[in-house]
Chains A and B, each alone.
Chain A
Amino acid sequence: DAGVTQSPTHLIKTRGQQVTLRCSPKSGHDTVSWYQQALGQGPQFIFQYYEEEERQRGNFPDRFSGHQFPNYSSELNVNALLLGDSALYLCASRSLGGSSYNEQFFGPGTRLTVL
């Protein structure tokens, strides 16, 4: 049973550039969330996608956008990168149905470094 997968593993960008991160959810899951984790901090919620629509959003600017595809995979796009965007970006998936619908499972993350 494949878990949540993310690509790429690491990424280095310069200020002002744009970046796209990718996530494939765990088999059987239909909801994908994205989190940003700065060094030494807990993950911060960016947004969540279900049925190809953004359903809930955290306190992140419009530079952060996303997309969910019909196969439930998702992308996170960040425009006009700032030094402060350097972080581990985590994708989490879950299923809205079933007895364990609250449980979210995380991928290994993408380490983004902005120079």
Chain B
Amino acid sequence: EDQVTQSPEALRLQEGESSSLNCSYTVSGLRGLFWYRQDPGKGPEFLFTLYSAGEEKEKERLKATLTKKESFLHITAPKPEDSATYLCAVKNAGGTSYGKLTFGQGTILTVHP
């Protein structure tokens, strides 16, 4: 069974203080690893898809990287508006191509001004 574990559960940063969120996964053949941002009471907002080890993607202050066992979401010089829950999910390559996403429990990021 696919499993995703995110750490830390919560992270408090000062504005401008860079850090990283971790997503460890076990999956029977990775078809994709996904990062989402979720604001309170809203649906997840798509950020990145990573497909293979060594791949990196960037968007503004966020950079996602992937290894064979984990992914990191690096946040450079964060701002208060980056405060949100960040979710990691995987899709396995087995079975049909329809594919469910298996999510971690999320990391709650708070950036103080």
Do chains A and B stick together as partners?
A: yes
User: Quick one: closest A residue to B103, CB to CB?
Assistant: A42
List the B side residues contacting A6 at CB < 8 Å. Answer: 43
**Contact at B105–A40, with CB atoms within 8 Å?**
yes
User: How many residues of chain A get a CB closer than 8 Å to chain B's CBs?
Assistant: 31
Q: Which of B43, B96, B103, B104 contacts A108 (CB 8 A)?
A: B43
Q: What distance in Å separates the Cβ of B70 from its nearest Cβ neighbour in chain A?
A: 16
Known: A45-B100, A56-B98. A109 touches B43 (CB 8 A): yes
**Contact at B43–A103, with CB atoms within 8 Å?**
no
List the B side residues contacting A48 at CB < 8 Å. Answer: 98-100
**Contact at A106–B32, with CB atoms within 8 Å?**
no
**Contact at A45–B91, with CB atoms within 8 Å?**
no
Contact count A vs B, C-beta below 8 Å:
70
Q: Is B106 an interface position by the 8 A CB rule?
A: yes
**Contact at B91–A102, with CB atoms within 8 Å?**
yes
Task: List 4 tightest A-B contacts by C-beta distance, closest first.
Answer: A42-B103, A106-B43, A45-B100, A55-B98
Show 18 residue pairs from A and B whose CB-CB distance is below 8 angstroms, ordered by the A residue.
A6-B43, A41-B105, A42-B106, A43-B87, A43-B103, A45-B102, A55-B98, A88-B41, A92-B101, A101-B97, A102-B32, A102-B49, A102-B91, A103-B46, A105-B46, A106-B36, A106-B45, A108-B42
Chain B interface residues (CB < 8 Å from chain A) = 4, 31-32, 34, 36, 41-46, 49, 87, 89, 91, 95-106
